[in-house]
Amino acid sequence: MGTLAAIPLWWLLAQLPLTSYLVVVLIAAVVGITICGRAADQMGVHDHGGIVWDEFVGFWIAMAALPITWQSVILGFVLFRLFDILKPWPISWLDKKVSGGFGIMIDDVIAGLAAAAVIYFLGYFGLIL
């Protein structure tokens, strides 16, 4: 559900110039380390399902520089969720080995980067957008 909630905020962010967008996402990622770490400490559970800030940031990374279309939202959403759920290496390794707020954030950041890379290569080869 966190990724779905990130879509309206992405739409607002996507109105920014790319440099500003990336700065906001970087700040959100850094602040997210503290937010997610504190939430996990208060809940007593590492990476509880109720902690969604990491999903917001991961999705925003996947969506960087994409056009504002329903097709790009679906593509970014599906690819980000795929990497976040399946957790291929190194995402799975990071998820298991890194703790605290940084650990909660890093697997979603890498999932977002992986989704963005797939989107880039699909676009480069003329397969999408």
For residues 49 and 98, is the Cβ–Cβ distance under 8 A? no
pLDDT (tens digit per residue) in 6-47:
999 999 999 999 999 999 999 999 999 999 999 999 998 887
Question: How is residue 113 written in tokens?
Answer: 């980067």
The alpha carbon torsion through 113, 114, 119, 123 (nearest 10 deg) reads 100
pLDDT (tens digit per residue) in 58-93:
999 999 989 999 999 999 999 999 999 999 999 999
For residues 32 and 103, is the Cβ–Cβ distance under 8 A? no
Radius of gyration of the chain (CA): 14
Percent of residues in the chain assigned helix, strand, coil, to nearest 5: 75, 0, 25
pTM for the model: 0.94
